[in-house]
Structures are given as structure tokens and as C-alpha cells.
Amino acid sequence: MTLYQPFLDYAIATLQQRLDLNPYPIPPGFERKEGTMGKGKRQEDVLTTSHAFKSPKLRQIRAAHVQGGASLQVLNFVIFPELNYDLPFFGADLVTLPGGHLIALDMQPLFRDDPTYQTKYTEPILPIFRAHQQHLTWGGDFPEEAQPFFSPAFLWTRPQETEVVETRVFEAFKDYLNAYLDFVAQAEPISHTQETKQILQAQRRYLDYRAEKDPARGMFTRLYGSEWTEEYIHGFLFDLERKLQTAS
């Protein structure tokens, strides 16, 4: 069992329980990909698997799971709502590298600076954030330009101990996911054109940023080459632009 497998299993089981869940297509060649990292004695096999679903309110629910031994484990799990809902994104980036663990967990807002939006989607999760942040202290510097995409409930931490990831981080992940699914259950579709235009714009801003700045680009390029990596990023991980193109 690898470090983030229980997170993925929990997420899928919970989604199945709480949503009307359907499969979401994964482009051929991306469901499962093997590669190797390092040389000689340090060589490690690395397996990347992809998982994707949708539900009536959620356009794409997807995970990339990288398993490469004790010093390379990643679960990147993101939920992209349909464009006629004002729901935030659910974003989890759980990363273990030779240097340690790096944990990012948030409900990433469409309109970070809008007080009405904050009241609706950030304030309700602040108690959960505070409860976990006591044990998972702020992880320090992160890219300045990424700040507009995170909420005040952004849990960002670099635990020293793997056991903390298995216990505290796992509990935080469960609480955030369930709180997110509470928001989903309550969400009402938006039909007002002005507002849906703003939602589309905000989703594009977020997706374009993440596709452009994907911190995993270097790792995937070393493992699987740049052609595979760019197709994975634009054709699966952050696929909104492609989907909009094929729809028009």
C-alpha cells in the first residue's frame, strides 16, 4: 500500500456514496503509464494512474496518482464544477519527494475578493481549517502569483513525519472533501447570463494558470517525455479549453 492510496480509495468511495457518479473519459494511453526515475542502484519504477468521474453538477472529478517508491508519491486530485454553478474548485496536491512532504488542500474560489462569495464558500469551512491548522502549521513560501487562486482556508503544510500525513493530513482531507460535497448538495444552477459569463471567465483563468504553471511538468517530462506530458496536461489534467473548442 502506498502513502496516498487510502486517500484515493476514500475519495472514490465517498463520491460514489454521495453523488450520482458517472465515468469521465480518460484519453487512450493516459489511464496508466510506467517509467523509471534515477540511475543504477537508485533507479525506481514509477507508475502514474489516472482516475476520472463526473456528476450532474461536477464537470470533471479527476485524480493523477504517481507511485515511485518511498521518495516519490503524488496524489493530485481536483474537482471542476459545471459552468452553470458558482461552486469553488476542490483542490488537493499531496506530494512526497526526497526532500519531504508538501501538502496543499483548499476549496479554490472563483471570486476570491468578493465578500458575498467568501461568506458563502469560505466562512463555513474556516472552523475546519482552524481545527486542522493547529496541527499542520503553515508551509511557508509559495508562488506569489498563485495566491489569487487560494482561499483564506488554504491548508498548506510540509510535515516532517510520514505518520502525520497518514493521520492528521488524512483527517483534514476527509473533512474538506465532505464539506465540499455539502456545498455541492446545496448548489443551485445559475441561469443569469451575466453571472455565467463571469464563472466561465474565472474557470478559464484558473485552468489556464494551472496548465501553464503545473509544478509537475518537470517530473512528468523527465519520466515520460514532453509530448506525453503536454498532452496529459492539456488533454486530461486541465482540459477545459479543449472541451470548449470541441463543443463549438
Contact footprint for ligand DBV (CB under 6 A): 64, 74, 76, 91, 93, 95, 97, 102, 104, 142-143, 146, 149, 210, 214-216, 218-219, 237
DSSP output for 143-190: -GGGGGGS-TT-EEE--S-HHHIIIIIHHHHHHHHHHHHHHHHH----
User: Cα separation of 157 and 104, whole Å?
Assistant: 7
Residue closest to ligand DBV when measured from CB atoms:
216
**155: nearest Cα among 106, 215, 109, 110:** 106
| C-beta closer to ligand DBV: residue 68 or 86 | 68
Min dist. Cβ of residue 20 to ligand DBV (A): 26
User: For residue 45, what is the enclosing H or E element?
Assistant: strand 44-55
| C-beta closer to ligand DBV: residue 56 or 205 | 205
| C-beta closer to ligand DBV: residue 141 or 188 | 141
Min dist. Cβ of residue 220 to ligand DBV (A): 7
User: Contact at 8 Å (CB) between 88 and 183?
Assistant: yes
User: Cα separation of 161 and 216, whole Å?
Assistant: 23
Provide the b/e sequence for 54-81 (b: ≥16 CB within 10 Å).
bbebbbbbbbbbbbbeeebbbbbbbbbb
| C-beta closer to ligand DBV: residue 55 or 76 | 76
Min dist. Cβ of residue 248 to ligand DBV (A): 26
| C-beta closer to ligand DBV: residue 144 or 188 | 144
Residue for cell digits 469560505?
Answer: 122
| C-beta closer to ligand DBV: residue 142 or 190 | 142
Min dist. Cβ of residue 48 to ligand DBV (A): 8
Min dist. Cβ of residue 78 to ligand DBV (A): 7
Could you give the angle at the alpha carbon of 171 between the alpha carbons of 169 and 173, nearest 5°? 70
Min dist. Cβ of residue 35 to ligand DBV (A): 13
